[in-house]
Amino acid sequence: MTSHRATCPLCEAMCGLRVETHGDTVTSIRGNPDDVWSQGHLCPKGTSLGHLHDDPNRLRIPLVRDASGGHVPVGWDDAFAETEKVLRPVIDRFGAKAFTVYVGNPVAHNLALESYIGALVGFAGAAGMPAYYSPGTVDQWPLNVVGTLLFGGMWNAPIPDLDRTDHLIILGANPSASQGSMLSAPDVMGKLAAIRHRGGKVVVVDPRRTLTAQRASEWVPIQPGTDALVLFAILNTLAEIGGVRRPTHLAGRILGLDEVIAMAEPFSPERVAGPSGIPAVEIRRLASELASAENPVLYSRIGTCTQEFGTLATWLVFVLNAALGAIDRRGGAVFAKAAVWSPMFMKPPDQTGEGWEYGRYRSRVRGAHEVLGQFPVSCLAEEIDTPGDGQIRALVTVAGNPVISAPAAGRLDAALAGLDAMIAVDNWLNETTRHAHVILPGLSPLERPHFDDLYWMYSLASCVKWSEPVFAPTADRPAEWEILLRLAGAVVGIPVPEVDTAGLDDLYTSGLVASICSTSGTPLTGRDPAQVIAALRGRGPERLADLGIRLGPWGDDLGRRRGGLTLDTVRTHQNGLRLAELEGGRLDETVTTPSGKIELVHPMLTADIPRLLARIDRAAEDLVLTSRRHLRSNNSWLHNVPALMRGKERCTLLVHPDDAARLGLVDGEMADVSTTEGSVSVLTEVSDEMKPGVASLPHGWGHGRDGTSLDIANSHPGVNSNLLNPAGLIDVPSNTQVVNGVPCEVRPNTPA
């Protein structure tokens, strides 16, 4: 028996684990009580990592598509040769403009992929790839936009100080399922309970009475997509009742507050009550409670992002935090201090202006504007299936399952089947990868080291952790970063089997370091790249982790700060290092806007207000669809773990009893759901946890497809909710897909 410390790579909670093994089997996984960050907390997904590791369907060797369209296992040399064979003709004939990459969510939780996705996307971009795609535009893109405009960085935004607030309003987040997002906390539900125990209040604004809402002091049901209206009305009321605070710590540090207050004028509680479904008197009460709380703060997440007014809603959360004087103050919305510096925190080199530039180029088919270098992910299908110059003919997916996770999924599914070359860097033969000519699998979470950087930007304490692999990886398997380097090499003309990954790693790393040195406002600005490289240890992701730690606030600054941290020192702390608690007073060092102040007003934001105003008088929809998550699912890819699939059917359409009665729907029977995009038949679950007029369907389902190899998931297929989400439905400023508040029709499924 051996005991290992590990970190769960599945979500933003970053829980520390104790993994007991016997030989090459996991005998138990528990929370690590000594982990400086999570102190023993974990959820059922973490305990099941051993099952994930043992999953017989998890790919351990590459697959290639054979003549019949099925997949057969091959050795690595053959897989690389086949990759070259399918990719090369496209690149030679059409160049990198016919090539793109889809970067999936697990990339952010996987050190090798996270550190080297930049090599693939960067080399391909330099070679002429027009854009890459990611689920960012079905996720946090509004937060990224608001981060750049208000605070100066894509990944720069204050988080609610859960340990000290006495009045928290949560909009569009369900941490009981997600465990916190763009807000990392150990045991987030425990933190919410503690707010109530110390006499504070937690209000959840959500069309569904989630478990988070049930555990809160109060649930405020809202019509999907109307958060911005309500938030404006709260601001309007605060101004009216003298609830706007102008504390000295923010004096001269926030620009535009009075302007936004003036913009709130048309949004009185009485006017927004109808569309939002929240009575004016309730909106006024929400405002006056915020005004009288000692430490009020608002937090919002995906339900306020992936909706019609995602950018405005996300913006107004920060505007309200500013109006309450809560920003940069204990108990309010504070800037976390990430212990690790990441190149993601710097402005990308193609952002040349002083402020951030938007709409610099447009997509070929739809003419969509780029936002932070991406088009709406729903553009991918049309860019593949529309002939013409620039048509995408070769795709690499990296840890992504867009056939399930991306909107207008039916068209994308069909489009992928028509690609000249598709390579999937993925661990399963699933709904997306079944289209790939070659699947190149990575290591299991227990076979690789784990190290987080990005999420510490949103965490309740400053920690750093390095976790060694639990099992040594099988010899002769390339690490995922080496796979990405081979693909990067291919795009710039080096045959895949011939890529010298060590040499290309040096080239990539020195290029990255040079760009950090030549960009203003980074920890390396003006330094000599050669000296920096010489100071770093190791190679591959470890070298980049060493860089991040040493450039972080507690790092040794590459030898200049004696006694500072390096990867080597972090490694000696098996339970992690806890370096600081969340504090206010960090605004001046964090905010990197052109003025150095929080800039609340920007034309990108205000230009969208007329669209919001027009929403007020729009006729009400009969029924709209929303999304949800479950604690035991993780987007589309944990449904093959038996331990996580026990219990009742999860892929159900939740509808309120009034709607069920009106539409003739019966609990436990099938219903047909249709939108302008498509239709599905799904099991109905009648529950008063829904606001009347709103239905909820989880995403991540729709297994059981031919050509996949997912024994467990395929026996609980569920339906793909993204067959219902129309491509054109986006939050305009940020390009974000609307998956909440989609007009739909539901009728009983009566077999013909």
Ligand X SMILES: Nc1nc2c(c(=O)[nH]1)N[C@H]1C(S)=C(S)[C@@H](COP(=O)(O)OP(=O)(O)OC[C@H]3O[C@@H](n4cnc5c(=O)[nH]c(N)nc54)[C@H](O)[C@@H]3O)O[C@H]1N2
Nearer to ligand SF4 by C-beta: 8 or 264?
Answer: 8
Which residue has its beta carbon closest to Mo ion?
Answer: 139
Residue 501 near which of ligand SF4, ligand X, Mo ion, none (CB within 5-8 Å, type-dependent):
none
- Which residues inside 234-263 make contact with ligand X, applying CB under 6 A? none
Residue 208 near which of Mo ion, ligand SF4, ligand X, none (CB within 5-8 Å, type-dependent):
ligand X
- Which residues inside 668-707 make contact with ligand X, applying CB under 6 A? 696, 699-700
628 binds ligand X (CB under 6 A): yes
| HEC letters along 600-640 | CCCHHHHCCHHHHHHHHCCCCCCCEEEEECCCCCCCCCCCC
Residue 234 near which of ligand X, ligand SF4, Mo ion, none (CB within 5-8 Å, type-dependent):
none
- β-sheet bridge partners, residue 62: none
Beta strand segments in 517-603, E: 577-581, 598-599
- The correct pick among 43, 231, 302, 623 for binding ligand SF4 (CB under 6 A) is 43
8 binds ligand SF4 (CB under 6 A): yes
Which residue has its beta carbon closest to ligand SF4?
Answer: 46
Phi, psi angle pair for 746, to nearest 5°: -130, 135
- Alpha-carbon distance of 700 to 222, in angstroms, equals 24
Give the list of residues 6+ apart from residue 386 with CB closer than 8 angstroms, or none.
364, 365
- Which residues inside 551-610 make contact with ligand X, applying CB under 6 A? none
Q: Which stretch binds ligand SF4 (CB under 6 A): 38-46, 72-80, 354-362, 495-503?
A: 38-46
- Alpha-carbon distance of 286 to 201, in angstroms, equals 11
- Which residues inside 479-498 make contact with ligand SF4, applying CB under 6 A? none
Q: Smallest gap, in angstroms, from Cβ of residue 16 to ligand SF4?
A: 9
Q: Smallest gap, in angstroms, from Cβ of residue 687 to ligand X?
A: 12
- β-sheet bridge partners, residue 334: 159
Regarding beta strands 296-300 and 167-171, do their DSSP bridges make them parallel or antiparallel, or are they unpaired?
parallel
26 binds ligand SF4 (CB under 6 A): no
**Of all helices (H) and strands (E), which one includes residue 201?**
strand 201-205
Q: Which stretch binds Mo ion (CB under 5 A): 41-49, 56-64, 136-144, 200-208?
A: 136-144
- Alpha-carbon distance of 349 to 743, in angstroms, equals 40
Structure tokens at 71: 């997949």
- The correct pick among 276, 634, 709, 734 for binding ligand X (CB under 6 A) is 634
- Alpha-carbon distance of 576 to 194, in angstroms, equals 25
Cβ atoms of 216 and 195 closer than 8 Å: no
**Of all helices (H) and strands (E), which one includes residue 51?**
helix 49-54
For 18, the 3-state DSSP assignment is strand
- Alpha-carbon distance of 546 to 479, in angstroms, equals 18
Binding mask 455-494 for ligand X (x = CB under 6 A): -------------------------x--------------
Q: Smallest gap, in angstroms, from Cβ of residue 134 to Mo ion?
A: 10
Which spans in 433-566 are helix H? Answer: 480-491, 501-518, 529-535, 540-551
42 binds ligand SF4 (CB under 6 A): yes
Structure tokens at 4: 């290992």
Structure tokens at 148: 């750049």
- The correct pick among 55, 82, 84, 139 for binding Mo ion (CB under 5 A) is 139
207 binds ligand X (CB under 6 A): yes
**Of all helices (H) and strands (E), which one includes residue 218?**
strand 218-220
304 binds ligand X (CB under 6 A): yes
State which amino acid sits at residue 194. Answer: A
- Which residues inside 149-188 make contact with ligand SF4, applying CB under 6 A? 179
Per CB under 5 A, residues contacting Mo ion are 139
Per CB under 6 A, residues contacting ligand X are 11, 104-106, 110, 135, 138-139, 171-175, 177-179, 181, 205-208, 210, 222, 224-225, 227, 301-304, 306-307, 399-402, 405, 425-428, 430, 432, 442, 480, 626-629, 631, 633-637, 696, 699-700, 721-722, 725, 739-741
